[in-house]
Amino acid sequence: MAKYEKLALAASPTEKAQKAAKSLRNWFDFVSMDEADAVVVLGGDGYMLQTLHQMIDDARILPAYGMNLGTVGFLMNKREASRSPILDRVNRARSFDVSPLAMTAVTQSGETHRICAINEVSLLRETRQTAKLEIKVGNKVRIPELMCDGVLVATPAGSTAYNFSANGPILPLGCGLLALTPISAFRPRRWRGAILPDHLPIEIRSLEWEKRPVSAVADQREIRDVASIHVEVAHERDLTLLFDRGHSLDERIVGEQFAV
């Protein structure tokens, strides 16, 4: 018996994705997200993240099978990897669990915002002034004063994205680790970041925030004028991504380390 029987379809508003969605609907009867066992996502990485965030917000989390109709498609499967019916492809796919981050951000005015991130949480300077940050890990201050353009916390799934561009480490899936990576650190000059067990809470506090305002970004969502953030793994909101065999996310993460 098939593991998944009822599929929902989510398609990016781009012309290419809408055309592919129309074609798939001619061959398969998709159902609503409320009725589905899994969801097929057509688009690029940005649209996949948008769909995953929407499921988290709706508290209706389904396994997601992506088909790349965007640019990079790191979180997606190749569209033409198989001519098999879509239900067969989804049921033959290999599943990977991805644990998002839960960021609690407190603004200078005292407002509190709780947002999840699948790739990374970053704290970034808002003006030309360098950010001045205090870094606390596991309830202990590790860096009393970090002068930088910003700092980010990346999951293994997001370690090949912004984190990698900022010279952070690539983390294998299932390693139980997070990357804490500075962005253009000025002081201490020798600090290049840290690899941390994902059970340790991370707190970052903005120092001199009146003079050096910072914003917090959780994937694509931004909070301005932040005083502090608290970051921890939200295992209760674990996501499942489905990949064709031979095109899995862990292989892509390994492959990124040998790309030239």
Rounded to 5 degrees, φ, ψ at 14 are: -65, 155
101-236 belongs to which CATH class?
mainly beta
Candidates 3.40.50.10330, 2.60.40.10, 3.30.1330.10, 1.10.3210.10; CATH matching 7-99+238-256: 3.40.50.10330
Q: Is 119 within any annotated ligand binding site? A: yes
- Asked whether the beta carbons of 68 and 239 are under 8 A apart, the reply is no
Give me the residue spans of the domains in the chain. 7-99+238-256, 101-236
Q: Is 161 within any annotated ligand binding site? A: yes
Q: Is 58 within any annotated ligand binding site? A: no
Task: Assess whether pLDDT exceeds 80 at residue 259.
Answer: no
- Asked whether the beta carbons of 162 and 72 are under 8 A apart, the reply is no
Q: In the prediction, which pLDDT does 226 show?
A: 97
Q: Is 11 within any annotated ligand binding site? A: no
- Asked whether the beta carbons of 233 and 99 are under 8 A apart, the reply is yes
CA distance 164 to 178: 13
Amino acid at 30: F
CA distances from 91 to 73, 80, 191 (A): 20, 17, 45
Q: Is 160 within any annotated ligand binding site? A: yes
Active site residues: 45
Q: How far apart are the first and last CA of the chain?
A: 43
Q: Quote the Cα angle for 192-194-195, to 5°.
A: 140
- Judged by DSSP in three states, 86 sits in helix
Note the pLDDT tens digit of each residue in 167-220: 999 998 788 999 999 999 999 988 999 999 999 999 999 999 889 999 999 998
Q: Which regions of the chain does DSSP assign to beta strands (E)?
A: 7-11, 38-43, 64-68, 94-98, 101-107, 112-117, 120-125, 131-137, 140-148, 150-154, 177-183, 194-197, 202-206, 214-218, 221-223, 226-233, 239-243
242 closest CA partner among 63, 99, 60: 63
Q: Is 26 within any annotated ligand binding site? A: no
CA distance 169 to 165: 10
Q: In the prediction, which pLDDT does 197 show?
A: 95
Q: Quote the Cα angle for 145-101-220, to 5°.
A: 90
Predicted structure pTM score:
0.83
CA distances from 59 to 52, 174, 231 (A): 10, 23, 20
* Paired tokens of 152: 């980010």
Q: Is 14 within any annotated ligand binding site? A: no
Note the pLDDT tens digit of each residue in 57-98: 888 899 999 999 977 778 899 876 556 789 999 999 998 888
